Amino acid sequence: PMAASASSIDITKYTGKWKPNVSKSDDFEPFLAEAGVPWLVRKAIKRSAPITELAVTGTTFRAVVNSGSGKANEGTFGEEIDWHTPGGTSKVKLELSAEGAISMTGPSPNAKDPKGTLVTTYTLLPDGTLQLTMHISRGDGSELLIRRILERAD
């Protein structure tokens, strides 16, 4: 059998500017709280509508969010990269699934939970929107799952 390839979906469709659809998205604040972002900063982030700019080729991924660090997160699929968030920088594994989902797997953003993990996944939905899922598995076995729906902003 042939190896699964990313060609089953046109991953270049990720490329562009995306904005959150707040009414279709989970509350983002529990994630920010887990990451240790201070209350006042969380309130400011919640009021903002950050634009996420993605650029995807067959082998590389680049994401820039116009809030937070403003640093580009970029790398090659299958490799470990530096991932910048409002809570700091960590090493994550950047992967592209056979179904065309883009994921980053690394440590929890919660510095007090060294055994925790975070999987962030971008998935293109059939209606042309983008689902951003942030799944924290805590060291104590509990979980936090946040889903955000992003729409084209360009």
Q: How confident is the model at residue 74 (pLDDT cuts 50, 70, 90)?
A: very high
Largest CA distance in the chain: 54
pLDDT at site 46: 78
Report which of residues 86 and 76 the model is more confident about. Answer: 76
Nearest CA-CA partner of 28 in 57, 52, 55: 52
At which residue do the structure tokens 């959150």 appear?
A: 20
Which residue shows structure tokens 């042309």? 128
Q: Which residue has the higher pLDDT, 4 or 136?
A: 136
Pairwise CA distance, residues 69 & 67, whole Å? 6
Least trusted range by pLDDT, from 12-16, 74-78, 94-98, 108-112: 108-112
Q: Where is average pLDDT lowest: 58-62, 68-72, 95-99, 147-151?
A: 68-72
Residue type, 52: T
Long-range CB pairs of 90-97, under 8 A, 24+ apart, other chains included: 92/120, 94/61, 96/6, 96/11, 96/61
Question: Considering the chain, what is the average pLDDT of its residues?
Answer: 87
Return the percentage of the chain with pLDDT > 90, whole number. Answer: 58
Q: Which two tokens stand for residue 27?
A: 């509350």
User: What pLDDT is stored for residue 107 in this prediction?
Assistant: 93
* Overall average pLDDT of the 134-146 stretch: 96
State the virtual CA torsion across 141, 117, 32, 29 in degrees, nearest 10: -50
Mean pLDDT of all residues in 103-125 = 93
Quick check: helix, strand or coil at residue 135? Answer: strand
Report CA 62 to chain centroid distance, whole Å.
Answer: 11
Write out the two tokens for 72: 């580009």
What's the pLDDT score for residue 69? 55
